[in-house]
C-alpha cells in the first residue's frame, strides 16, 4: 500500500518522537514538496533502533576498550622465503597467477575518505602523485591493472569505492581521461554508505532544512557497500573469488600481487594482510597481533606502551608487524559479514569527535563550529580480521610497497612519496646493472619515474633498452 505524503510525514514524526529526534522536522513546513519528499526518504531509510543503540553506547557513553586477555605477536610469512618455505612461495605465486589468468581476482580501491590532511580540492585519486609527469593516483593504479591484464591475458575488474561527496567528481575524472585505456565495462565506481553525524547531546544534526548531516562510514564501510551496491553480486557473476584491497593514497602498492593472493588462497584464508616491520616502537601504524588466538590489529593509540616497547630475545621489537591496509579478501567472506548477523553488518563502529557544520534549529542559521561538536561513527576494515576463520600475513618492504600520501607536508607527503617512487625505480634499475648516483644515506640523487606500463616488478625490465648510467641531478621517465 502506498502512503500519501501526509501519512508518511505522520509516520516519520511518530518514529522521531519515540526516539526524541523530532527536531529534524522543524523546517518541514518551509520546504517544497520535492524537498519534503527527500527529507522523508532520508529519515525513513535510517535504522533507528541501531542509531539509538549507538547514541547510547558511543555518544552519551564512551565504549569501554577491552583488550584481549592474551596478546601475542602475529606470525607472518617473511619477505624472503626461508629454505623450508621456498617451495610454498613458488606454488603460491603460480596459484596467484592462475587465479588472475582465470579472471578470479578483482582490484578494489577504497577512495571514499575526505583527505582532510592533504587538503586537495577534489577526490584524492585525482591528486598528481608521480614525480615527473604528475600522473594521478587513479592513473597509476589503472596502469598497473592494464599491464597485469596484458601480462596474464586476463580481465581484472576494478571496483572503486567513492563517497556520496566525491562520487560525481571521481566519475567525471575517469570519463575525462577515457578510463586511462581500460574498458569502462570493467571499471565500477560506487559510493560508500554514510552514518548520521551525532551531536554531543545525542541529537542528530541537520546539514540543511531538508538534509541530515552525515559522514562516510569509514573504510570498514567498504565491506558493507560492496554488498549493498551490487558490486559483490557483479563479482560473483564474473566468477571473481578474491578481492585485492588497497587504499587510494599509496602509489607504490602492488594492486594485484600473485604471491600474496596465492599464499592467501593456498592457506584457504578468508582475509589476509600485508605487513611492514615497524620503523620504531611508537610508529603510528596498527599492530598485527594474535588476540586470544585470532589475528587482529591493535591501533597505535590503543597499544599498551609495554607491549609496543617489548623486545624479543635478539633485541628486535616483539610486536614489529605494522599494518599498511593492504588485504586480500574472499568474496564469500564479505557476503557472510553482511548476511550472518541477521542482515546487520558485522563490523563494530568507532567514535571520533569532530567539527561538523550544521544548521542550528533555533536560529535557522548555518554554523561552522570552532570546536568538535559531534561524534562521527566509522567502521575500520581491519575489524573484519578476527572474524575470518583463517587469516595470513605477508611481510613486504617499505620502499617496494609503501609510499603513502597523507599530509600536505612532512611525513607521508607528496614529497616523501615521490622520493620513494624514485628510490624504488632506482633499486629496480640497479638490479639490471644500471649505474646510479646514491648519496651516503643510500638515497638516489636523481628523479626517476617508472611507469607500471613499463614494469610491474624488477624482472620486467630485463631485455629493455635501459641507460647504462644515470647522472646525479638528472630526470628520467621510463
Ligand atoms: P584515511 O584514514 O587516510 O582517511 O583513509 P582520509 O579520509 O583519506 O584522510 P584524512 O584522515 O581526512 O586526512 C585511509 C583510506 O581509507 C579510505 C580513504 O579514501 C583512504 O584510501 N576511506 C577512509 C574510505 O574509503 N572511506 C572512509 O570513510 C574513510
Determine whether the shortest distance from the Cβ of 405 to ligand 1 is under 6 A: no
Interval 372-395 mean pLDDT = 97
Confidence of residue 316 (pLDDT cuts 50, 70, 90): very high
Give the closest residue (by CA) to ligand 1 atom 2.
113
Taking the CA of residue 247 as reference, the ligand 1 atom at the shortest distance is 21
pLDDT at site 75: 97
pLDDT at site 20: 97
| CA 20 / ligand 1 centre spacing (Å) | 32
Quick check: 244 pLDDT over 90?
A: yes
Predicted TM-score (pTM) above 0.85? yes
Determine whether the shortest distance from the Cβ of 226 to ligand 1 is under 6 A: no
Interval 438-442 mean pLDDT = 95
Give 179's contacts (C-beta < 8 A, 6+ positions apart). Answer: 142, 187
Q: What pLDDT digit, counting tens, does each position of 45-64 carry?
A: 999 999 999 999 999 998 88
Give the closest residue (by CA) to ligand 1 atom 18.
113
Determine whether the shortest distance from the Cβ of 406 to ligand 1 is under 6 A: yes
Determine whether the shortest distance from the Cβ of 216 to ligand 1 is under 6 A: yes
| CA 408 / ligand 1 centre spacing (Å) | 15
pLDDT at site 63: 84
pLDDT at site 343: 79
Average predicted confidence (pLDDT) for the chain: 97
Q: What pLDDT digit, counting tens, does each position of 246-294 carry?
A: 999 999 999 999 999 999 999 999 999 999 999 999 999 999 999 999 9
Determine whether the shortest distance from the Cβ of 111 to ligand 1 is under 6 A: yes
| CA 325 / ligand 1 centre spacing (Å) | 11
Determine whether the shortest distance from the Cβ of 462 to ligand 1 is under 6 A: no
Taking the CA of residue 112 as reference, the ligand 1 atom at the shortest distance is 25
Quick check: 344 pLDDT over 90?
A: no
Determine whether the shortest distance from the Cβ of 376 to ligand 1 is under 6 A: no
Determine whether the shortest distance from the Cβ of 110 to ligand 1 is under 6 A: yes
Quick check: 38 pLDDT over 90?
A: yes
Quick check: 82 pLDDT over 90?
A: yes
Quick check: 65 pLDDT over 90?
A: no
| CA 15 / ligand 1 centre spacing (Å) | 33
| CA 419 / ligand 1 centre spacing (Å) | 22
Interval 232-252 mean pLDDT = 98
Give the closest residue (by CA) to ligand 1 atom 1.
113
Taking the CA of residue 217 as reference, the ligand 1 atom at the shortest distance is 28
Give the closest residue (by CA) to ligand 1 atom 17.
113
Q: What share of the chain in percent tops pLDDT 90?
A: 96
Quick check: 342 pLDDT over 90?
A: no
Q: What pLDDT digit, counting tens, does each position of 156-189 carry?
A: 999 999 999 999 999 999 999 999 999 999 999 9
If one residue of 107, 111, 112, 113 were mutated to test the ligand 1 pocket, choosing by the most ligand atoms within 8 A of its CB, it would be 113
Interval 4-9 mean pLDDT = 95
Determine whether the shortest distance from the Cβ of 296 to ligand 1 is under 6 A: no
71-406 CATH, one of 3.90.550.10, 3.40.50.1240, 3.90.190.20, 3.30.70.20: 3.90.550.10
Determine whether the shortest distance from the Cβ of 117 to ligand 1 is under 6 A: yes
pLDDT at site 167: 98
pLDDT at site 114: 87
Quick check: 1 pLDDT over 80?
A: no
Determine whether the shortest distance from the Cβ of 193 to ligand 1 is under 6 A: no
Quick check: 99 pLDDT over 90?
A: yes
Amino acid at each position: 500500500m502506498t502512503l500519501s505524503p501526509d501519512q508518511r510525514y505522520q509516520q516519520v514524526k511518530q518514529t522521531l518522537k519515540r526516539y526524541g529526534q523530532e527536531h529534524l522536522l522543524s523546517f518541514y513546513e518551509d520546504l517544497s514538496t520535492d524537498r519534503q519528499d527527500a527529507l522523508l526518504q532520508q529519515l525513513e531509510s535510517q535504522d533507528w533502533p541501531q542509531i539509538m543503540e549507538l547514541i547510547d553506547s558511543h555518544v552519551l557513553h564512551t565504549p569501554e576498550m577491552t583488550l584481549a586477555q592474551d596478546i601475542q605477536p602475529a606470525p607472518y610469512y617473511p619477505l624472503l622465503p626461508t629454505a623450508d618455505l621456498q617451495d610454498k612461495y613458488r606454488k603460491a605465486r603460480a596459484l596467484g597467477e592462475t587465479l588472475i589468468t582465470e579472471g578470479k581476482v578483482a582490484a578494489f580501491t577504497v577512495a571514499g575518505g575526505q583527505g582532510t590532511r592533504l587538503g586537495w580540492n577534489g577526490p584524492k585519486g585525482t591528486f598528481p602523485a608521480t614525480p615527473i609527469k604528475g600522473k594521478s593516483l587513479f592513473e597509476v593504479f589503472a596502469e598497473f591493472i592494464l599491464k597485469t591484464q596484458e601480462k596474464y591475458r586476463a580481465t581484472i575488474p576494478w571496483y572503486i569505492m567513492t563517497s556520496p561527496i566525491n562520487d560525481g567528481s571521481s566519475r567525471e575524472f575517469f570519463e575525462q581521461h577515457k578510463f586511462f585505456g581500460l574498458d569502462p565495462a570493467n571499471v565500477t565506481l560506487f559510493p560508500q554508505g554514510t552514518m548520521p553525524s551525532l551531536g554531543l547531546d545525542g541529537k542528530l544534526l541537520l546539514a540543511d532544512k531538508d538534509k541530515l548531516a552525515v559522514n562516510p562510514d569509514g573504510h570498514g564501510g567498504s565491506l558493507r557497500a560492496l554488498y549493498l551496491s551490487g558490486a559483490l553480486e557483479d563479482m560473483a557473476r564474473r566468477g571473481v573469488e578474491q578481492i585485492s584491497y588497497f587504499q587510494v593514497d599509496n602509489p607504490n602498492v602492488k594492486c594485484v600481487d600473485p604471491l600474496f593472493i596465492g599464499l592467501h588462497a593456498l592457506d584457504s584464508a578468508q582475509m589476509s594482510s600485508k605487513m611492514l616491520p615497524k620503523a620504531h616502537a611508537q610508529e603510528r601504524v596498527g599492530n598485527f597481533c594474535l588476540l586470544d588466538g585470532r589475528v587482529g590489529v591493535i591501533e597505535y593509540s590503543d597499544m599498551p606502551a609495554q607491549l609496543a616497547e617489548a623486545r624479543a630475545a635478539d633485541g628486535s621489537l616483539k610486536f614489529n608487524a605494522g599494518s599498511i591496509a593492504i588485504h586480500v579478501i574472499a568474496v564469500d567472506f564479505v557476503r557472510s559479514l553482511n548476511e550472518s548477523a541477521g542482515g546487520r553488518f558485522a563490523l563494530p563502529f568507532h567514535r571520533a569527535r569532530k567539527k561538523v557544520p550544521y544548521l542550528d534549529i533555533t536560529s535557522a542559521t548555518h554554523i561552522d563550529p570552532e570546536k568538535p561538536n559531534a561524534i562521527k561513527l566509522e567502521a575500520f576494515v581491519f575489524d573484519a580480521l578476527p572474524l575470518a576463520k583463517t587469516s595470513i600475513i605477508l611481510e613486504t618492504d617499505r620502499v617496494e610497497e609503501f609510499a603513502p600520501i597523507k599530509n600536505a607536508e612532512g611525513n607521508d607527503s607528496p614529497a616523501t612519496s615521490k622520493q620513494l617512487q624514485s628510490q624504488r625505480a632506482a633499486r629496480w634499475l640497479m638490479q639490471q646493472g644500471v649505474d646510479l648516483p646514491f648519496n651516503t644515506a643510500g638515497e638516489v640523487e636523481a628523479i626517476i619515474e617508472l611507469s607500471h606500463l613499463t614494469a610491474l616488478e624488477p624482472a620486467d625490465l630485463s631485455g629493455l633498452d635501459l641507460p647504462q648510467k644515470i647522472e646525479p641531478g638528472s630526470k628520467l621517465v621510463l
